[in-house]
Amino acid sequence: MHPKRLPVPVAATLRGCLLAGMVLALAGCEAREAPLPGGPVAQWPAVGGDVDGQRFSPLTQITPGNVGALEVAWTYRTGDVSSGTGEHGPTAFQATPLVIGDTMYLCSPYNRVIALDAATGTERWVHDPRVDLTGVYTPTCRGVAYWDGGTAGVCSRRILSATLDARLIALDAASGAVCEDFGVNGAVNLRENLGEVRTGEYYVTSAPLVLGNLVVTGAFVQDGQRVDAPPGVVRAFDVRSGELVWAFDPVPPGVTPVSAADAAAGATFTRGTPNVWGAMSADRERGIVYLPTGNPQPDHYGGEERGGRDFYGTSVVALEAATGRPLWHFQTVHHDVWDYDIAAQPVLFEQASGKAGVITTTKVGHVFLLDRDSGKPLFPVEERAVPQSSVPGEHTAATQPFPTLPRPLHPHDLGEDDIWGLTPIDRKACREQFRKLRYEGIFTPPGFETTLAYPGLGGGMNWGSASVNPATNVMIVNSMRVPYTVELRPREEAANLDGNDQVGANAQEGTPYIVIRGAYLSPWGTPCIAPPWGLLTAIDLDSGEVLWERPLGNLNNLAPLGVGRFLEWGGPNTGGSIQTASGLVFIGATLDGYFRAFDSATGEELWRHELPAPAQATPMTYRVSAAGRQFVVVAAGGHGPLAYAAKGPEKLGTLLGDTLVAFALPE
């Protein structure tokens, strides 16, 4: 039975501590309600709260009335932070910790797995897998997974961690010792059956998915490098032995996929296929795993070299959990040549009518609500004609899917009147750039002339996904509006490039063209479009309607002369939100360095705290005993590449950190 729907007012109401012109005083607001005695307790057993990805907690000790009294309860520093070396790029501490019992588990950007006392932050154990970071664009680890075998003894409870040098490791949850019976000496080599893998080309950044006695993982494949890129295979291993149980080789119909049995006999999985670098989710009762897929390689040219590998590209794919057999898939972008891969974890929900659904949020700014069993849209989706490519050899799709509900969260069009700057000089420079760009809407295909990519390669919505309160059926999602530029050039120009960068120049080997990508920024380093550049949106999952929308973030660290903290214009953001049963939304994500709490019913900001570094991570919350406090925890680590995109290379590395910050009400 679906819980009774609670009323959700759309209009925001002003609370006592929010005086006009005094936004910065939020951090000092006093509690108006005493902390509640008793109440529920809850852990956080998966990076998404649970395998459904809802990022929801039943906890109620922290409320809209007392959230203003939150204070730092403890901090923990991993020590793993770097602005980048010749071997790897700048770190991004993006982990969402787990809490099981009274222990917290997290990973550092260098894949060190750490266990802490959940009440005090005191370190219990650390496992250092000593990963090889050579060639890794952004060292990060967004989380680990937990398995409980239901028995006593060494490794009866396990932490599963996937690494930046492509290993899947099993550790004893109690001690951090390697589980020697898993794989070879406690690890599975994820490079097996892939064929040639270049340095820094294939690794894992998202937490594995544990379902029953299986641990399932995909991997990140470096963007835009070559047609013959490493396979995008998704594999399930026995959580005890590390034996490969099944493999999903995402090849189109008519092509025989490589199976787990084939791999055991030495076969190589199909190369250049769509990969799954984001977090997966699952329906335990139905026995279904839901995958968010990327586009086939390379990113910005999809001529004959792709060989039909678009079939599962940029899609939500449902697999039978026991076998890996595909059940259905829904493609959010056809023949993706924009790098609009689905980064966000699919999120399960149930409408008041009893209809079971799955949410996918996309870089395009589209939200698709799909039937969990069939993949069919719960609200109409229209195929609309889109601009076509003039690049020889390219064959862009004639139409693209547009959801009717929820409405798109990113603009579809941009005109010269929308071009903006902090000063008239800025605006003039941005307009001059705009007149030289090709732009015909969100699906303007890359070409030989410089094309405006809006949304940019970061979205829209990215890996932070959405949070869902199952009692109100309200989803919260953050998004950004930061345009980029894309330009194809003949292959012979590759010799003139200074390097081959993840964001800048992409080699696209095996095609006739290289690609150059860049940010569309003003001389001040701000986006050339009018704010807001970051938004927080609430959507009613029963009606599909937007309930409220507000800017997320200010220009702290972005605008000159320190005035940015007063400009609540929304900003670039990466990371996600959580919701609690008391009606709160917690989110960091923004470059301004603040961690915030909002009223989930109105969107009103209730509290903020400036962190030691921006929190490009998704928070979590827990309360391990009825006598204890509810904690809200977020990783304050910054994100070098996001800072680069927003401000330019002179700011690279200045917004990084390594601090895990835990908040609670005063004892």
As given in the structure block, the two tokens for residue 14 are: 């002003």
Nearest to 47, CA basis, from 92, 94, 93, 97: 97
* Residues with catalytic function: 339
CA distance 142 to 140: 6
Nearest to 321, CA basis, from 286, 357, 349: 286
Q: Alpha carbon 36 to chain centroid distance?
A: 33
Assign 3-state DSSP to the chain and report helix, strand, coil percentages, each to 5.
Answer: 10, 30, 60
The two beta strands, 620-622 and 631-636, are antiparallel
Distances (CA, A) of 508 to 199, 202, 249, 394: 16, 16, 22, 14
Residue recorded with tokens 């769509």: 274
CB atoms within 10 A of CB 150: 7
H or E, element range at 433: helix 424-435
CA distance 216 to 220: 14
In contact, 436 and 450? CB cutoff 8 Å? yes
Edge-to-edge strand order for the sheet containing 71-77?
71-77, 659-664, 631-636, 620-622
Q: What is the DSSP string of 55-84?
A: -EE---SS-TTTGGG-EEEEEEE-----S-
User: What φ, ψ does residue 153 adopt, rounded to 5°?
Assistant: 120, 170
What single letter denotes the amino acid at residue 288?
I
Edge-to-edge strand order for the sheet containing 157-162?
145-148, 157-162, 167-172, 187-189
CA distance 470 to 473: 5
CA distance 449 to 38: 63
- Three-state secondary structure string covering 320-361: ECCCCCEEEEEECCCCCCCCCCCCCCCEEEECCCCCEEEEEE
As given in the structure block, the two tokens for residue 302 are: 């999809």
495 Cβ neighbours under 8 A, 6+ residues apart:
none
Distances (CA, A) of 613 to 15, 164, 248, 567: 28, 23, 39, 19
What single letter denotes the amino acid at residue 38?
G
In the chain, count of helices (H) and strands (E)? 3, 40
